[in-house]
Structure 1
Amino acid sequence: MSELDLIILSVVLIFSVVQSILGMGLLVFGTPTLLLLGLPYSSCLAYLLPASIAISILQVRGDVKIEKNVAREFFTWSIVPLFISLAVVLSLDSNFKISLAVGVLMLATVLIKLSSRVEFLFASNVKNNFHLYLVTMGVIHGVSNLGGSVLSVISSVKYSEKTDVRRFISFCYLWFATIQLVVLFFFHYDKFTYVSLIVPVISSVAYIAIGKSMFKNIDSSKFNNIFVLFMLAYSLLLITKDTQLW
């Protein structure tokens, strides 16, 4: 096992714990971390998607089933945009500046979350244009793997309890990752390695041994502040890297 493989497994382990608590984190932070390490977007997906699916399955199994009308809206408005946008990005491959796109989207998310007024206005806009934001979420997730930034707002608009929020996020992530995996295999089946088989085990153990119990006890508002700081740091690193400032 190479040094890079060990780093990838460590990244999956750390952010699997984060995702176990908040419902997101593995893709939001795992994607930019692997991009900063120099991996192409297709390789990032090959390592992160199997791990994300494993956690989402465990979370969805442990929660009450999602409402049928919510599931219908999600499938109707988000899945096709995800499929198309991801297919376009993977066909362009290295010609698309994915690091810059991810960095800009993360920075935009941070700017929204830093101001409670802006976040409130954004949430109100989401509520009034719900289907439009479902489409937007699908496109953003296909292009950057960061649909969670929109998903977090959508889930907070629909639900107030943290258990309900995480259930909705886990449901969406499960189907997003499944579709992404199918599209990725069609375009870049060669990106899957033995590490892709190990990461679901790592993420499942992280969820069962650590994340599940932490979710019940942690103050999610404090954790969210740390979450935003990490997003700010990553966004600046990605933007400056892709603009060749370092």
Structure 2
Amino acid sequence: MSIDISITIIFISLIQSIFGTGVLLFGTPILLILGYDFKSLLIILLPISISINIMQIKDGLENIDVKFYKGLIIYCLPSVFIALYLIDFNSKELNLFVGLFLTMISLKSNIKVVGKLLVFLFRNETIYLILMGLLHGITNLGGALLSGGILIKESSKDVKRATIAICYLSMAFIQIFTLVFKFNSNTFIASFNPIYLITALAIYITSQRFLYDKISDHLFVKISDIFLFMMGFTLVGQYLLN
């Protein structure tokens, strides 16, 4: 396992272990910046996200928002499949699209138009779930909308994290199914590295024990906005310079 992937996996696994999202939301732009193509980063990140999500669901199955999850199954998951199946993995514009989307999401608290647009989407759940699925299939960053839609709900941190985890898990399974359907299972299996899973689960167990109760949602949102803006700005800059 190369040093760049090792550091990335430790960081994003820690974030996802605490908040339910992070492996795909942060891992995608980081690996794109490091030069990995979209298909390769999906093969690296999806099993990690799934392994942590399963642990989180096991620890909080009773906390899942069932109504929201049913909507995700009906409207979001088919959209993920359609978008991921149709995209061109070799398109250079994909990095630009990811960068612009990250930049927009990071400015939601500072630009009123962006904030109002997101609030409108969250209140119209069917449209929100379909759009989230399409964006997740194209960019692997639907977690930004997923977290936003769930974090504004009046529920406990445990309910929010469990719901995010089951939704992310379901989207990841659909993504893997789509990759296998679009290419073949040998492509996925040949690139799979079990060390990634072992590292991610070790981080999960450690963070559960020492960090989960000490980090607030508010602090996470503030820090993630700054980080996502930096990642988005870097991806757009890379596209323009190339």
Deviation at 1:124, TM superposition (A): 3.6
Residue 95 of structure 1 aligns to a residue whose secondary structure is coil
Q: TM-score, normalised by structure 1?
A: 0.89
Kindly indicate whether the alpha-carbon contact (under 8 Å) linking 1:52 and 1:174 is maintained by their aligned counterparts in 2.
yes
CA RMSD of aligned residues (A): 2.0
Percent of aligned pairs sharing the same letter: 29
Match of 1:64 in 2: 61
Pick one of 204, 216, 229 that aligns with 2:201: 204
Q: Are 2:215 and 1:218 equivalent residues in the alignment?
A: yes
Write the distance in 2 (CA, Å) between the matches of 1:160 and 1:122.
22
Contact 2:20 2:164 (8 Å CA) reproduced: yes
| 2:94 paired with 1:98 | yes
In structure 2, the residue corresponding to 1:178 is in which secondary structure? helix
Indicate yes or no: 2:159 matched with 1:164.
yes
Matched, 1:128 2:126: no
Of 78, 84, 87, which aligns to 2:85? Answer: 87
Q: Greater shift after overlay, 214-223 or 176-185?
A: 214-223
Distance in 2 (alpha carbons) for counterparts of 1:241 and 1:192: 31
How far apart are 1:40 and its partner, in Å? 0.7
How is 1:14-163 mapped onto 2 (pairs within 5 angstroms)? 14-65=11-62, 66-89=64-87, 92-95=88-91, 97-115=93-111, 121-122=116-117, 124-163=119-158
Alpha-carbon distance in structure 1 between the residues aligned to 2:129 and 2:153 = 13
1:33–1:67 distance in 2 versus 1, CA, 3 Å? closer
Structure 1 position 195, deviation (Å): 5.0
SS state at 2:61 partner = coil
Deviations 1:59-79 (A, max 9, x none): 111113324332221100100
**TM-score normalized by the length of structure 2:** 0.90
Q: Does 1:184 align with 2:184?
A: no
Contact 2:65 2:163 in 1 (8 A): no
Residues 148-188 of structure 1, C-alpha deviation per residue, up to 9 Å, x if partnerless? Answer: 11111210233432222111111110001111111112334
Provide the rounded CA distance (Å) in 1 between the counterparts of 2:238 and 2:147. Answer: 27
Q: Distance in 1 between matches of 2:211 and 2:78?
A: 35
Deviations 1:89-128 (Å, cap 9, x if unpaired)? 2xx221352211110110110111335x557634541343
Unaligned runs of 5+ in 1: none
The answer to whether the 8 A contact 1:123-1:157 is kept is no
Deviation at 1:37, TM superposition (A): 1.2
Closer/same/farther in 2, CA of residues 191 and 138 from structure 1, 3 Å limit:
same
